[in-house]
Amino acid sequence: MERWLRLVNLIPSLDLSVYGEAEGYPLIVVRSEDHDPKMPSVYLSAGIHGDEPAAVEGLVRWAEASLEKFKAWNWMIFPCLNPWGLERNIRFDAEKRDLNRFYDSRKVPQIVAQRALMKGRRFDTAATLHEDYDARGFYLYEVAAKRPHWGESLCGELTSVIAPDPRPKIDGHSARKGLIRRRITPDLMKGHPEAFLLHFQHAARTFTLETPSEDSLDRRVQAQERFLVTMVKKLKLEMVF
């Protein structure tokens, strides 16, 4: 929280606000104050699962190093969606819910509040940052309506930090060099994750990055950061200013 506040103080076009609370922890969003339709629009989030610290640290570290350069873009950043869990290294929230299964319901007040902030917004790209204890390397989900796909080149950049998960099937899905490209439909599962909502309503490209929890924290943070650097670079190249 302190680091994000410091950063927002340095970049006047950004605003940090508290949109809710969970077990006494403030839930924060960092956004661009004005929306400029000529500029790229990006959604980022981390920490919905409290036992995935490299995602939260990687996001703030990337922001500290890079956000200033892209201050004219339109940002919506959720630095940590489950601070109670993060402090305790617990995946779930205090009510033992996997928060990432409630994006199609109105049962969890903090997700209802988060969705209200997203209402009507379109993003050129969105990323939700995660970690996985079962992973044997990094892996990346790509769901994108837009072509060409970015998954292969994003994974290629990450390989110099952490090797991709070599399994041909990850979490029940076919994977190739750590890339899972899923076709998803609204009726696929009850209890939508954040990435489904983003894909169906808000984003032309949605990525979910998973770094392997058993690798070193430093390398996992580096991988999260490298992913964000590369994704922003791809978007910059794609947009015509």
Near Zn ion in 103-132, by CB under 5 A? 130
Q: Which is nearer to Zn ion, 52 or 93 (CB)?
A: 52
- Nearest CB to Zn ion, comparing residues 148 and 172: 172
Q: How far is the CB of 100 from Zn ion (least distance, A)?
A: 6
- Minimum CB separation from Zn ion for residue 86, in Å? 12
Nearer to Zn ion, 130 or 192 (CB): 130
Please state the closest distance from residue 57 (CB atom) to Zn ion, in A: 14
Residue type, 160: S
175: CB partners within 8 A, 6+ apart:
139, 165, 167, 168, 169
Alpha carbons within 13 A on the beta-carbon side of 138: 34
Q: What is the total count of residues that contact Zn ion (CB under 5 A)?
A: 3
* Planar angle of CA 99, 201, 112, nearest 5 degrees: 35
Which among 205, 231, 235, 195 has a CA at the least distance from the CA of 122? 205
**Torsion-angle region of 23 (φ positive above 0: left; ψ -120 to 50: alpha; else: beta):** left
Pick 131 or 225: Cβ nearer Zn ion: 131
Q: Which of 27, 31, 32, 49 binds Zn ion (CB under 5 A)?
A: 49
Residue tagged 């070193």 (tokens)? 216
Q: Is 226 in the site for Zn ion (CB under 5 A)?
A: no
Which residues of the shown chain bind Zn ion in the complex (CB under 5 A)? 49, 52, 130
